[in-house]
Amino acid sequence: MIKAGIIGSTGYAGAELVRILLRHPEAEIVWYGSRSYVGKEYAEIYGSYFKIVDSVCLDDNLDELANEADVIFTATPQGFCASKMTEELLRKTKVIDLSADYRIKDPKRYEEWYGIHHETPEFLQEAVYGLPELNREKIRTARLIANPGCFPTCSILTVLPAVKRGLIDQDTLIIDAKSGTTGAGRGAKVQNLYCEVNETVKAYGVTVHRHTPEIEDQIACISGHPSVVQFTPHLIPMNRGIFATVYASLKPGVTEEDFRKAYEEEYKDETFVRVLGDGRIPETRWVKGSNYADVGFKIDQRTGRAVMMGAIDNIVKGAAGQAVQNMNLLFGLPEDSGLRMVPESV
C-alpha cells in the first residue's frame, strides 16, 4: 500500500483528496495534516466522515511526515511548499504540490504575479508540471510534481489539440472562464459569503489573475513559441465546477473537419478527456464530482474564429483528482486507480 500524507487536509482540495484516497485500492492515509485544527478529530470538521475516519489532525511537520509517507500532498497556500522543500525531503519521499510554487519556472515571474519571494528556486527546473495528458512520461520518474491550477487545467485541455497542430493563431487566444465558489478556498472572506455570491456573476482578477502566466507558459511549451493570452475568470453562484469558453482566430484554410480530427486523435487514448461530438456543448453538471474533462468546439466561418469549450470539476480534475492521477503514474499504477467516480447527474 502507498502511504500518503496530506498537508492541508481540511481545505476543499485536501478534503477531496481524503474522499478519493479512502476508496483507493492501493493507498492509505497516514497523516491528516491541518495547522488550523491540530488535535481535533477529522470527523469533527467534516461530519460526513463520522465513523469512517477516526484520526485526529496533525501538524505540518514535513520532515517527520517524510519518514512515514511514500508521497506527500501539499494542499496549502502559495509559499508553504517552497519554504519547506529540501533535498533530504525529496530523498525520502515524493511530493505532489497543489499550490503554484513550482508551476512557473522563472522565479522572478512567480514573484511578480504572486507577490511573494520564492525560497527554493533551485527545485524549479526539476519539478514536473503535473498535467498527465501533456507530461505523462516525465511524471513517472519525478520526485516533485507541480499539480496544475484548476483554470489552467481546463483552459489547456480545451485548446491543446488546436495549439499543438497549429490550427489557430495562439496570439489571439481569449479565455473566458467561470468557476464555482470552492475555487476561492475554504478561508473566511467577506466577498465569498453566501449573500455576496448568490444571484450574481462577477469578473475578478481582470488582466492580473495569477493563473495567466501558468497558462501562457504551458501554451508556449505545447507550441514551441512564446504566448500571450487574455484570461478573465468569473465567479458564479455554484459550489464546484469550471467552464471555459476560449476564442481564437483560425489559421487560413482550417476547417471544422481539421478540428474534429485533431481533437479525436489527441484524446483517443485519454481516459479522462471526453471529446463531445454532434455539436454538443460541455456542461459542468456532467463532470461534477468526477475526474473527467469534457471538451467541445464550434467553428465560426463567418468570423474566422474557433470557439472551444471545456468543463471540469475544479476540485477533482482541477486539484485533488489530478493529484491522485499523478500519484498513480509515480507508483506505476493504472492511471485511473481510485478515480473511476461517475459524474453526479443532479
* Residues of the chain above pLDDT 90, percent: 92
Mean pLDDT of 209-237: 96
What was the pLDDT predicted at 344?
Answer: 87
Instruction: Tell me the CA distances in angstroms from 302 to 115, 249, 308, one per residue in order.
Output: 42, 11, 16
CA 308 from centre of chain: 19
pLDDT band at 279 (very low <50, low <70, confident <90, very high): confident
Strands (E), the chain: 2-7, 27-33, 71-74, 94-97, 128-129, 144-146, 174-179, 202-203, 230-235, 242-249, 273-275, 293-300, 305-312
Residue-wise pLDDT for 64-96, tens only, equals: 999 999 999 999 999 999 999 999 999 999 999
Q: How far apart are CA 236 and CA 287, in angstroms?
A: 17
Mean pLDDT of 115-135: 98
Domains defined along the chain, listed by start: 2-126 (3.40.50.720), 151-314 (3.30.360.10)
pLDDT band at 188 (very low <50, low <70, confident <90, very high): low
pLDDT band at 51 (very low <50, low <70, confident <90, very high): very high
Is pLDDT of 115 > 80?
yes
Check 57, 81, 150, 154 and give the catalytic one: 150
Is pLDDT of 276 > 70?
yes
CA 91 from centre of chain: 25
Catalytic-residue membership of 150: yes
pLDDT band at 252 (very low <50, low <70, confident <90, very high): very high
Mean pLDDT of 157-168: 98
Mean pLDDT of 236-245: 96
Is pLDDT of 346 > 80?
no
pLDDT band at 26 (very low <50, low <70, confident <90, very high): very high
